Amino acid sequence: MDQERLEHIRHSAAHMLAAAVLELYPRTKLGIGPTVENGFYYDFLFPQGTTVSEEDLASIETVMKKIISGHHDFVGRSVTAVEAESEEADQPFKLELIKEFAGEGKNLTIYESGPFKDLCRGGHVDNTSEIPADGLKLHRVAGAYWRGSEKNPMLTRIYGLLFATKEELDSYLEKLEEAKKRDHRKLGAELDLFTFSDLVGAGLALWTPKGTLLRNTLDDFVWQLRKERGYEKVTIPHITKKDLYETSGHWDKFKDDLFKITTREGHEFAMKPMNCPHHTQIFNHVSRSYRDLPQRYAETTMCYRDEQTGELHGLSRVRGFTQDDAHVFCRESQVKEEMFKIWDIIEAFYKAVGFNDLRVRLSLHDPAQFEKYLGTKEVWENTEKQLREMVAERGVEAFEALGEAAMYGPKIDFMAKDSIGREWQVATIQIDRNQPERFDLVCVNEQGEKERVVMVHAAIMGSIERFLSILIEHHAGAFPVWVSPVQVLLAPVSSKHVGGARALLNELTEAGIRTGIDEADETIGNKVRKAAGQKIPYIVVVGDKELGGEPWMIRVRGQKDQVKMTKEEFIEKVRNEIAGKI
């Protein structure tokens, strides 16, 4: 079925949803009912005191299907604004739309289908019998502001899924189930990686030893890639005087999102929401010669933003998060080379963690809202042109996104697709000519003159928290061997094998393999079950045979049959995988 036809079907179904709601709740006021990616929604203002629960959806759905089965034709007719207003007299939201559309000189049409009529620009099927009722499911109810503005009243939005066939609906529902199983919030608890505490507060993740190992493993690799390219580590405090952000321009635009601290002497401080302003002060504490450039500062450190409670979500959106941040201070002539170095790091890193094809997004400013940004139009346009050239030179396909730029400059963002096809922004490279201006960052050039430097911002994982939410879901917790907190689990057959297993533990650990041991007095079957649930890559049962020098039967994650290998072969194999970032 072609997309346009599916759109018509979904939009027609939205009318039927409204019809069903009016039948069950006659005094309901109607918002709008467009199509969305996998179906449609309709916004309603229910009569005072009515709430619609998830269970009520089933009865609405039943009524909806009954109306659909009435084989009603969709009949449209043009109306004047006055006619439209009289027909929709008891629908305040429709009246608002009529007024607006009439003001814009648009033609108004009303579509009738059986018992229901609606102001609508069209795009329907001819008859409701064309709506595939068995591909339909009302699945969610949510709040949504009228016309998307938080200044407007909150309406109740009912989402429906609608596919051409039942099979497609079922397969989509299966996909949702699969996503649920992979949910990082669930896996984070099951794999004992992180937790939240009501005492500590919402959006403040606490990392267990295993989770910390995971973070550090990834961060160490990023650092290795950076170190090879001339980066140096720096360290900054997590708070700053207000003055720093007044100079950077952040205080003005983002003061609501800062955690603020007032000292006993009445001075205002803030928790840092980013690191660049601090890093400028390290660059700027001595005069720099062009010979000292580029200065490349890297630091993995936490930032804090006072996100609204309703926006928090697992690790994806938190109040305290860790950036693997880096800033390069360089001359204009060095920008491209530095950008490409970062690009190389990003490619190497994402390949190693199992994301193969990153999409590249050019995140540009939104010309319609230029007041959101720092700096002049000219600087922005030049920088954006430069980014386009670099993308072209790099020979990659990039898509452009208006309004996705940072406050101080445009970005090249990298988008990763996870294993069930969802796309996420991960790494980012940003060119910044505004903060060097504001902090007066210069070097002395060959002519002995002051020369303005350029800042390049480069986060590889971005926020480690958000990155891990994506990584956990991408691999469903079954991380590549080099990333896994525990790479090999030893399971002694009985208590008399514990000593021998401990010796093996030392041997494997010496070989650089993260090894665990399950010494519990339990059956071997139970130990295997638990280790498999922990998604540990290799499980080795240790009994008389193994300790007696016979080949091992290794249980490999994801494989049904065990693999036979000598101890030496096994150690070699795992070491190679760790070294090869597999």
Point out the residues that are catalytic.
Answer: 276, 305, 323, 325, 327, 411, 457
258 binds RNA (CB under 7 A): yes
Interface with RNA in residues 175-194 (CB under 7 A): 185, 189
541 binds RNA (CB under 7 A): yes
Task: Give the strands of the sheet with 552-556, arranged side by side.
Answer: 515-517, 488-492, 538-542, 552-556, 563-565
Using CA atoms, how far apart are residues 85 and 93, in angstroms rounded to an integer? 11
Interface with RNA in residues 270-289 (CB under 7 A): 273-274
- Is the bond preceding 294 in cis, omega lying within 30 degrees of 0? yes
Contact 455, 429 (CB under 8 A): no
Taking CB under 7 A as the binding criterion, the range among 99-107, 406-414, 441-449, 567-575 that sits at the site for RNA is: 406-414
526 binds RNA (CB under 7 A): yes
Please spell the DSSP secondary structure of 199-223, one letter per residue. TT-TT--EE-HHHHHHHHHHHHHHH
Contact pick of 133, 524, 563, 582 for RNA (by CB under 7 A): 524
Contact 491, 542 (CB under 8 A): yes
Using CA atoms, how far apart are residues 402 and 391, in angstroms rounded to an integer? 16
Please give the structure tokens belonging to residue 111.
């579509």
Phi/psi for 168 (5° steps) reads -65, -40
Contact pick of 95, 553, 563, 582 for RNA (by CB under 7 A): 553
Contact pick of 145, 172, 290, 340 for RNA (by CB under 7 A): 145
551 binds RNA (CB under 7 A): no
Smallest Cα–Cα separation from 434: which of 376, 384, 390, 386? 376
- The torsion angle over the Cα atoms of residues 277, 281, 287 and 291, rounded to 10 degrees, is -60
Place of tokens 């650990």: 509
346: which residues sit within 8 A by CB, 6+ positions away? 358, 414, 427, 429, 460
Using CA atoms, how far apart are residues 216 and 483, in angstroms rounded to an integer? 10
| CB of 161 vs RNA, minimal distance in Å | 12
Smallest Cα–Cα separation from 335: which of 383, 287, 377, 369? 383
- Contact code string over 30-69 relative to RNA, x by CB under 7 A: ---------------------x-x----------------
Contact pick of 257, 381, 451, 577 for RNA (by CB under 7 A): 257
Judged by beta carbon, residue 54 or residue 337, the one nearer RNA is 54
Contact pick of 132, 135, 188, 203 for RNA (by CB under 7 A): 203
242 binds RNA (CB under 7 A): no
Contact pick of 69, 292, 529, 576 for RNA (by CB under 7 A): 529
48: which residues sit within 8 A by CB, 6+ positions away? none
Contact pick of 407, 468, 486, 488 for RNA (by CB under 7 A): 407
- The conformation of residue 127, written as its DSSP 8-state character, comes to B
Smallest Cα–Cα separation from 392: which of 462, 317, 459, 340? 340
79 binds RNA (CB under 7 A): no
156 binds RNA (CB under 7 A): yes
Give the strand pairing for 423-432 and 411-417: antiparallel
Judged by beta carbon, residue 307 or residue 347, the one nearer RNA is 307
117 binds RNA (CB under 7 A): no
Number of residues that bind RNA (CB under 7 A): 67
Other C-beta atoms closer than 10 Å to the C-beta of 48 total 6
157 binds RNA (CB under 7 A): yes
229 binds RNA (CB under 7 A): no
Interface with RNA in residues 311-330 (CB under 7 A): 311-314, 317
Binding site for RNA (CB under 7 A): 51, 53, 140-145, 148-150, 154, 156-157, 185, 189, 196, 198, 201-203, 250, 254, 257-258, 273-274, 305-314, 317, 406-408, 493-496, 520-526, 528-529, 532-533, 539, 541-546, 552-553, 555, 562
